[in-house]
Amino acid sequence: MANIIAIVGRPNVGKSTLYNRLTESRKAIVDDYSGVTRDRHYGQGEWTGKRFTVVDTGGYVHGSDDVFESAIREQVLIAIEEASVILFMVDVTTGITDLDDAIVDVLRRSKKPVFVVVNKVDHSLLQQEASIFYSFGLGEIYPISSMTGSGTGELLDDVVQHLEKDEEEADVRPTYAIVGRPNVGKSSLINALIGIERNIVTPIAGTTRDSIRIHYNQYGHDFFLIDTAGLRRKTKVKENIEFYSVMRTIKALEESDVVILMLDATEGIESQDINIFHLAEKNRKGVVILVNKWDMIEKNNKTTKVFEDLVKEKIAPFTDVPIIFTSVTEKQRIFKAIEAAAKVYENKVKKIPTSKLNDVMLPIIENYPPPAIKGKYIKIKYVTQITGRSPMFAFFCNLPQYIKEPYKRFVENKLREHFDFEGVPVQVYFRQK
Ligand code: GDP
Ligand code: GDP
Cis peptide upstream of residue 371 (ω within 30 degrees of 0): no
Digit-coded pLDDT (tens) for 176-199: 999 998 889 988 898 888 765 444
CA of residue 231 to ligand 1 center, whole Å = 34
151 is in an annotated binding site: no
* Bridge partner list, 431: 396
- What is the pLDDT at residue 222? 87
CA distance 428 to 379: 16
* Bridge partner list, 406: none
Complex ipTM more than 0.85, yes or no: no
Task: Kindly state the average pLDDT of the residues 246-254.
Answer: 86
Contact between 262 and 179 under an 8 Å Cβ cutoff? The reply is: yes
* Ligand 2 closest atom vs CA 328: 23
- State how far Cα 279 lies from the chain centre: 3
Residue 293: pLDDT over 90:
yes
Nearest ligand atom owner, CA of 41: 1
**Average of per-residue pLDDT values in the chain:** 86
Contact between 3 and 53 under an 8 Å Cβ cutoff? The reply is: yes
**Global pTM value:** 0.76
Contact between 196 and 154 under an 8 Å Cβ cutoff? The reply is: no
- The torsion region of residue 137 among left (phi > 0), alpha (psi -120 to 50) and beta comes to left
* Bridge partner list, 384: 394
Instruction: Count the alpha carbons within 13 Å of 179 in the hemisphere toward its beta carbon.
Output: 33
333 DSSP assignment: S
Nearest ligand atom owner, CA of 87: 1
Contact between 370 and 360 under an 8 Å Cβ cutoff? The reply is: no
CA distance 253 to 260: 9
Q: Which residues contact 328 (CB under 8 A, 6 or more apart)?
A: 185, 188, 189, 192, 292, 293, 334
Digit-coded pLDDT (tens) for 60-103: 666 556 667 788 888 888 888 889 999 999 999 999 999 899 99
Digit-coded pLDDT (tens) for 13-62: 999 899 989 986 544 333 333 333 344 578 888 898 888 889 888 766 66
Residue 203: pLDDT over 60:
no
Best probe residue, ligand 2, of 188, 194, 295 (max atoms within 8 Å of C-beta): 188
Q: What single letter denotes the amino acid at residue 349?
A: V
